[in-house]
Structure 1
Amino acid sequence: MGRVWLIGGTQESASLALLLSRSQIPCTVTVTTESARSLYPDSSTIRVWVGRLSADSLNEFLQEQQIAAVVDASHPFAVEISQVAIATCEKWQIPYLRYERPVLEEGERGGVVCVDSFDTIIKGNYLENQRVLLIVGYKPLHLFLPWQKRATLLARLLPSVVALEAAFQAGFTSDRLICLRPPITADLEMALWRQWGVSLVVSKASGSAGGEDVKRQVAAELGVGLVLVSRPEVVYPQQTSDFLEVLGFCERYVFNRSL
């Protein structure tokens, strides 16, 4: 009997791991930071593997863990691991299913400005003379370095050494950084934006699970501008937003049976 490789690091992946654990489906969850380990249940059927997988190391990982199927519940913007997983699954004929968190409908977004990329923001005039709160993760922060003298840039990050180092290299000082782990309530979000006198927020279109709905609500109540970067386009072999469909997929390929 093989195992499911659950590509994790999100709240949904933690919920899926709990579902698989309760169904006694062997699962290996991969996350990139040690702190993410605490998201997952302490279960005899769940293994948590911490580190970064590449195309070169993935084959060995799949063999060691005896992976029979892959459920990709990574963040919508974690494109690299999804693409590597898809290519490797196609090569070795391993069943792959993407769990994609639902996208908020355009009608639910109100007056939010949506752009196709960070490059569009950097090259435009969205940030000019604004007090900007960046809630984009640490990887894109270096892109905003040219704007450090043209706007007041603030950033909210996960509490990790890697994230802080990236922020410092991108020109942020400690008084313009705050480290918090989501989820963030609307009350806390509102208090933070008021405390910092934020006039514009830049974030990712990550859906409700990523706090997009809270940001839209707070932006509307405070009259703060909100710019959302749309999700990257990835062609998944198959995808779902239904937990029960994920469970059925795992049952089928691990236990060789259907629900």
Structure 2
Amino acid sequence: MIFLIGGTSEAVPIAGELAVRGMPVLLSTATEIPLHAPLPRGVQRRTGRLDREGMLRVIRAYDCRVVVDASHPYAAEVSRCARAAAQAAKIPYVAYERPPAVPPGAPVTRAADHLQASQAACACGVPVLLTIGTKYLEPYVTEAGRRNIRLVVRILDVAQSWTACRRLGLSATDIVAGRGRLDYEETLALLKDRGIGVLVTKDSGREGGVPAKLKAAEAAGCRVVVVERPARPRPAFRDIGALVDAVGYAWAEGVFPAEGRGPAKTT
């Protein structure tokens, strides 16, 4: 069995490609939110958050031979746990790394972490729109409160996200809930409607709607603060075909080409 850790829209296509090549796949997702596409034939799914020990139990229960990490580019803890679980189980680990969408030299402010991003965003003295999820809201709420800055938050419309916002005292009028990413027109309308002066985003790639955000911010005259990606364990591939080739090799040989055999190239 291939243990495929989801968290991106690419997880289902990766699962399908692996299954087509005759490799059984267990797709693991943290929540039961519907997938972006139907589950391919030959692919099982489990749901629920896992730490290192939980992943190791799954690996052993399903007799997994390879760990494929297709979690979100910013899910650093998930990737660390996946790598550690694979090492403990003595099986190969590889990650899919979604290509970034913020080009080098783009007119944005880059921040190493959310604390730095919150300070950069609120220093401008204008309303701020957060499109970063809800896990790291606290430094922004603290800094915005200290500077008396209006904070608008775009969230996934699920109970967990609402709970996080309410716990931090955010007003319902400053919470924009929805499913899926906003396109250019929707983002531009939101920026203008709320009088936003700074947009804060992660570089979640084209699939994460980053190009639309950058274009809308430029049209609305907004500054952009980008939270940099955390480092990802290696080997990591940005091309799904190359990833699947490497997993197929590991399935047969018990080692990835990047670990010393075969021609595949990591990024």
After TM superposition, the score normalised by the length of structure 1 is 0.89
8 Å Cα contact 1:155/1:176 also seen in 2: yes
2:82 is the alignment partner of 1:85: yes
CA contact (8 A) 1:99 1:240 kept: yes
SS in 1 for 2:215: helix
Q: 1:252 to 1:125 in 2, by over 3 A?
A: closer
Per the TM alignment, residue 18 of structure 1 is displaced from its structure 2 partner at its CA by 2.8
Is the deviation greater in 117-126 or in 216-225?
A: 117-126
**Do the aligned partners of residues 112 and 131 (structure 1) sit closer, same or farther apart at CA in structure 2, a change above 3 Å counting?**
same
Structure 1 residue 188 displacement after superposition: 1.4
SS in 2 for 1:11: coil
Instruction: Please give the alpha-carbon distance, in whole angstroms, between the structure 2 residues aligned to 1:130 and 1:28.
Output: 46
Q: Which residue of 1 aligns with 2:117?
A: 121
Structure 1, gaps ≥5 residues long: none
Cα distance in structure 2, aligned partners of 1:176 and 1:25: 46
| CA–CA separation in structure 2 for the residues paired with 1:174 and 1:143 | 19
CA distance in 1, matches of 2:212, 2:121: 25
- SS of the residue corresponding to residue 165 of structure 1 reads helix
Matched, 1:233 2:231: yes
CA distance in 1, matches of 2:15, 2:196: 37
CA shift digits 1:42-80 (9 cap, x unpaired) = 344111111011122222110112211111111111011
- CA 1:147–1:95 in 2, change beyond 3 Å: closer, same or farther? same
Residue identity in the other structure for 1:57: G
Partner Cα distance (1:25, 1:101) in 2: 22
Structure 2 counterpart of 1:72: 69
The RMSD of aligned alpha carbons is 2.2
User: 8 Å contact 2:66–2:93 — kept in the other structure?
Assistant: yes
Hey, what's the Cα distance between the residues in 2 that align with 1:12 and 1:127?
A: 36
TM-score (norm 2): 0.87
* Among 2, 5, 20, the residue aligned to 1:4: 2
Alpha carbons of structure 1 residues 244 and 190: separation in structure 2 relative to 1, 3 Å = same
- CA–CA separation in structure 2 for the residues paired with 1:252 and 1:182: 35
* Larger CA deviation: 135-144 vs 178-187: 178-187
1:206 corresponds to:
204
Task: Count the aligned residue pairs.
Answer: 254
Tell me the residue number matched to 2:12. 14
Partner of 1:197: 195
Distance 2:216 2:237 in 1: 29
Q: 2:38 aligns with which of 12, 36, 41?
A: 41
Residue in 2 that maps onto 1:244: 241
Answer yes or no: is the 8 Å Cα contact 1:17–1:40 preserved in 2: no
User: Does the 8 Å CA contact 1:100/1:239 hold for their aligned counterparts?
Assistant: yes
